[in-house]
Chains A and B, each alone.
Chain A
Amino acid sequence: MADATTAAKDLAIDVRGVSLWYGTFQALYEVNLEVKRGSITALIGPSGCGKSTLLRSVNRINERLGSYVRTTGSIHVLQHDVLAEDVEPARLRKEVGMVFQRPNPLPLSVRDNVLFAHKLHRTGQRYTRAQEDGIVEEALSTVLLWDEVKDDLDRKATTLSLEAQQKLCIARLLPVKPSVILMDEPTSALDPAATEALEELIWELRGDYTILIVTHNMAQARRASEETAFMLLGRMVEHGPTEELFLRPHDQQTADYIEGRYG
């Protein structure tokens, strides 16, 4: 395991001994994962290995499934245990944004999509139209979407191209300044050109945000991440710097997977 010595305050996400059950099916077994602040970490592994489940535990969106899901262990985000009883999911999800597999902009205008989370979390403060315009422009510029939609801010977001929709789904997280962004196979619905554009964008966000990205695509993990963690059958097998994990995997299972023997 890498980074055993990394001080806790340098960690954006610290998963310790997390086990998770869907009903009687155990999806995660004592998983540990440390994600450094401002880094991009890729989670790879075959379908059903629990990588999405782990990701969805960090912002507790898994709880939508109700009491059917049971989690033990601890997940610290910026040194707060997010599984604790008194954590407000709404506050947590302001701090931890999420991008989904299929672009899921809300059926509102582009502008309203960008401002949606911001409007949820502004407490009492008043924003003028001009201030809001500034927020919209900044967020859309960061995801390199501003030039494409600047004359079309009232257009319904669900009518944009898939690539633009997915960029918008990233842009709408930025105004509330999350420290962590979770991405669940964010390019799997996109064509190769759009995938490349998205990967470049994700790479650009490195440093400003801590990014944990689940991917099926090993080339993507290799291109667009600094650290990679490999999971198999609900267990964390290996975690290290991306380059090292792909060139010199310590575990035979990791080696088999990245060589394409299963997955």
Chain B
Amino acid sequence: MTNIDRTVDLDRRGRDWYIDKAVSWLVFVGGASAIVLILGIFAFVTKEGLGFILGPMNFVEFFTNPAWRPTSRPPTYGILALMAGTASVTGLAMLISVPFSLGAAIYIGEFATGKVRETLKVLVELLAAIPSVVWGFIGLSIMNPLIIRVFNVPLGLGILNSGIILGLMAAPIMTTIAEDALKAVPDSYREAAEAMGASRWQVILKVVLPAAKHGLMAAVLLGVGRGFGETMAVLMSSGHSINLPTSPFDSVRALTATIAAELGEAPGGSDHFRALFTIGILLFLVTFAINLTADIVVRGKGKR
């Protein structure tokens, strides 16, 4: 029999066919579970929080009253001071980490070469892996006495301490994402500008940064999200006292830290318990909005 008159079975399904089916099914389950879990968490948090939102909650008081006294009689549930705490700490953290991260990203992406570059990248990623409780510990045991000594203030736990710690925590992720954004700028742009006589700095300032601006913006936004949602380090370094801050040395309390500190003591199903979940919903919505914005900003890069 020759090749020409041989019969063929083109519809035969071998082992590879079944492996392919099984793997694609497994991957689908993996992907779908992420969606199911996130919806599940949202549903759970909402269910607990709704009991408060639809019940005893007074919207105006909740957002404008600085007094958070869930265990007083009668209790007041105002998160203005908590929001101020979170905003001030996150704001200071961004003031510190944005210039540092962008600088680090520019150095790693545009100047460093070879071993220096690889070493720096690994170190930055290692920095991102430090557990937040360790950062909190640094705030408590190193930054606190340092701030007391340097600024001659009675207490070193507050916005300044928390902002610095949070800034250091947010810097690695911002650096990594910003560096990715710089790396995504085609080298032909740099070459074109250099061939026209642009110096290294002119190339970065006039070509690379504008071309990477969407990615850089996303990096900053994700850094904000990181600072906003951080709990343990803020709890340990902020002083955790309810305060509308007037100076960077004031102690403040963050939204996240409030949940972490009080949830264990609040009786399940009580108004206090549910009010904490309402804060949870708020946090969830804000971080969701930040991440969504970052995502849209990055996608915007494709157009125009």
Contact = CB atoms under 8 A, between A and B. Distances in A.
Interface in B198-236: 198-199, 202, 206-207, 210-211
Nearest to A56: B195
Interface stretch (B4-12, B52-60, B185-193): B185-193
A66 interface: yes
A126 to B, nearest CB: 19
A107 interface: yes
B194 interface: yes
A74 B207 CA distance: 32
A156 B303 CA distance: 11
B110 to A, nearest CB: 12
Contact of A156 (B188, B207, B304): B304
A64 B195 CA distance: 10
Contacts of B195: 59, 61, 93, 97-98, 100
Given A100-B188, A102-B188, A107-B189, A120 B196 contact: yes
A108 interface: yes
B113 interface: yes
Interface residues of A, number: 28
Interface residue tally on B, bucketed by range? 10 to 19
A50 interface: no
A107 B189 CA distance: 8
B198 A100 contact: no
Nearest to B206: A116
A144 interface: no
A66 B114 CA distance: 11
B98 to A, nearest CB: 23
Interface string A118-153: 001100000000000000000000000000000000
Q: Which of B192, B193, B197 has the most CB of A within 10 A?
A: B197
Contacts of A100: 188, 191-192, 195
A13 interface: no
Nearest to B199: A90
A172 B304 CA distance: 21
B210 A107 contact: yes
Contact of B193 (A59, A116, A173, A176): A116
A169 to B, nearest CB: 8
B197 A91 contact: yes
A120 B202 contact: yes
A106 interface: yes
A117 interface: yes
A186 interface: no
Contacts of A240: none
Nearest to B202: A120
Contact of B207 (A89, A90, A106, A117): A106
A105 interface: yes
B44 to A, nearest CB: 45
Nearest to A113: B192
Contacts of A92: 197
Nearest to A88: B197
Nearest to A90: B197
A94 interface: yes
A117 B194 contact: no
Contact of B192 (A89, A105, A121): A105
B194 A61 contact: yes
5 contacts: A93-B194, A94-B196, A97-B195, A105-B192, A120-B196
Given A59-B195, A90-B199, A93-B197, 4 more contacts: A93-B196, A104-B188, A106-B193, A176-B196
